[in-house]
């Protein structure tokens, strides 16, 4: 997948420089956790902190730090670090409801838990099923928690 990724800052191709990071031509590094690149701009401190944790093999701490990141528009309280740590430790056993609660998503979590029956989701799913041409790779950007990709 990394052969398709470009730096969100420079537009130059990104290449793997370690198993847990990508690097651009200008030398900027981006973290990769569980095979997922974190390429969010205007999060320089977060990216630096997460890379430092990954560089010393503190993968769970890095993931907790990334999961604590919230959109700039969010008006709810920040997620509880102990809850995020629990989510990372127990992620294979928790339900979706438990996960969104531990993430502190509030009303957004409620929406995601019930999106499966939302009429706009069902209409989108029907359109996708009717017109899917089956590309080898799919990229879902800013589309929630992956309902359509699933």
Q: Kindly list the distances between the CA atom of residue 105 and the CA atoms of 17, 77, 150, in Å, as whole numbers in the listed order.
A: 33, 9, 21
Query: What would the pLDDT profile of 52-92 be if each residue is shown by its tens digit?
Result: 999 999 999 999 999 999 888 888 899 999 999 999 999 99
Is residue 1 over pLDDT 60? no
């Amino acid at each position: 997948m990394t052969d398709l990724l470009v730096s969100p800052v420079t537009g130059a191709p990104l290449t793997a420089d370690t198993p847990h990071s990508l690097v651009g031509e200008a030398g900027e590094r981006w973290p990769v956790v569980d095979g997922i690149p974190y390429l969010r701009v205007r999060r320089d401190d977060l990216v630096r902190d997460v890379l430092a944790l990954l560089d010393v093999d503190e993968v769970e701490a890095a993931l907790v730090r990334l999961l604590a990141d919230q959109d700039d528009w969010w008006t709810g309280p920040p997620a509880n670090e102990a809850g995020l740590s629990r989510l990372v430790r127990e992620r294979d056993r928790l339900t979706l409801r438990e996960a969104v609660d531990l993430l502190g998503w509030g009303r957004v979590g409620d929406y995601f838990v019930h999106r499966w029956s939302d009429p706009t989701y069902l209409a989108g799913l029907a359109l996708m099923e009717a017109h899917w041409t089956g590309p080898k790779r799919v990229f879902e950007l800013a589309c929630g928690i992956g309902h359509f990709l699933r």
